[in-house]
Amino acid sequence: MNKHGAEAEAVYYSAMESLIGPLTLCATEQGLCLIEFGPFEETRGQAEKWLAAQLGRVELLPGDEQLAGVRLQLAEYFEGRRRDFDLPLDMRGTPFQLQVWAALRNIPYGASASYKEIAQAVGNVKAVRAVGGANNRNPVPVIVPCHRVIGAAGALVGYAGGLGIKSRLLELEAGESARDGAGIYLF
């Protein structure tokens, strides 16, 4: 049932340990919709708030089986054995946010782009701050690689999981991609 329906929508959750600490994963029948940094016990409240705002009434159900493929692909990524994700996503956001998140998925593994480059990619060079806001609201970090967006001067700036996690993700990818010659990606 949609956001305005009376029936609660089933949302499955699962948790996993990772290179960047515990992650809480949430998915609808359509696909992965949310990743929170931290264990389920600590992130449940914020996950429920986001889910209610985006989907309306939900029923949060244990979903280790439903999210097994997501956990596997994330584990492969953190082990350096996966560069791209092949997962169904259920992205919820404004049309502009969806456009920005699609642009983020075009930044190759091991490369980075500035907020300005993302603004250019979505066709609005003056929307640098709005791109930053959309980047910050990305509901599925790592899968949609908002960690690959850096400041104009190459500085690490803002990340929902904290700059330490952003740095660790970039280091993971740099170690793998250094052999491939990846670097700054210009749209």
CATH of the domain at 117: 1.10.10.10
User: In the block, which residue shows the tokens 């991609």?
Assistant: 177
Tens of pLDDT, residues 96-117:
999 999 999 999 999 999 999 9
Q: Which tokens hold the place of 114?
A: 């500035």
185 part of a folded domain: no
d(CA 187, CA 58): 38
What is the full DSSP assignment across 115-170? Answer: HHHHHHHTT-TT-HHHHHHHHHT-SSBTTB-GGGEE-TTS-----TT-HHHHHHHH
In this prediction, residue 80 has a pLDDT band, given cuts at 50, 70 and 90, of: very high
- For Cα atoms 37, 136, 167, give the angle at the middle one, nearest 5 degrees: 60
187 part of a folded domain: no
32 part of a folded domain: yes
89 part of a folded domain: no
d(CA 154, CA 75): 28
Catalytic residue set: 146
**124-148: average pLDDT:** 94
43 part of a folded domain: yes
By residue range, what is the domain housing residue 50?
9-78
Instruction: Please determine, for residue 4, whether its predicted confidence score (pLDDT) is greater than 60.
Output: no
What value does the mean pLDDT of the chain take? 89
